[in-house]
Chains A and B, each alone.
Chain A
């Protein structure tokens, strides 16, 4: 009976079943703590390949923390992160990351095309020349988000939605298989939201995997295939149709969702 004998954890590493190698992002026993209070506690998750997944939960539930810990941006207390069946360090080339727009200083002295080229820095290394092909790739990434006319613009002159598109173009320039986005629709105009979601669906159609921290519950069913509900602990995960239910939401959000909101959601889910 090997299952019975399996330890829950050894040396802080979960020893549960091996992560599914086809999953673009699998977490086992992920625990992260700021000070003494855990921000995430023993979270297991298996995100499906070739799908659009949303990470959903109330404020302070650890949504962004989950993304950042998966990328190694913040230290984890324990747990395993597996990217396409490999440890994170071996799979960095396959991940593109779109941080929260507000996490950087847009007053930085640089241009739109320069920011997109930063998506190539891992491949370019310290001295790799920015060849014509690299520049063309960056320009094409800008064209895909409708920002090619702004290539030479200083980034501080852009609107919030345009800034978000530039960040997305930088992620496209990374030529990855997994796209991790932290609140991509926060503070953007309706046209940008439309453009971003169309692009993400296009990525999915190309077989890429998309995982986004998302907070607008009313658009979950329209935008995503898979949801992961989190509130410090993993609350539920699965296809939107079966997992994104009023009862699961009520449990995830505790008393923080008004009954009317739940009723509205029941309509969108129904």
Chain B
């Protein structure tokens, strides 16, 4: 019945449902990571030596590389959106491909970091610092993986015969991807750079 009636009209706010939903979801995500940062601040202030020692054991050059990695992927994501909006399919594929590779690279470096910790006998239970470290970076990595799935799907779809044209959807994904980047921008100094 609905399509014959005009009940399903244009969004009242002028913002597509999915995009509005994503902004609301990101607000929720901000609160989710805020919980972790709050816990980190409280624990750090009450266990300063443990936290300073823990942070000194982290590999900050690798994390710095990962920071660059994610910033580049955010840039290429924005360019992918722009390319698709202008109907430039090959550029979209190029930039989306780089974004996906950057995400893979991020996870590889994260894997190297984690395994190096495990080989030194450092686990989430080692200290409250490492409990926080593995929880925060772990949830962030899950978010990266959660972004890679639609990125890969859109990329794969654009190689099919029908192609992929819905640039607004890519834009919604881009919002999420920039948020994931932003969380890392906070995680990097808080975990790695404060001794």
Q: Do A and B bind each other?
A: no
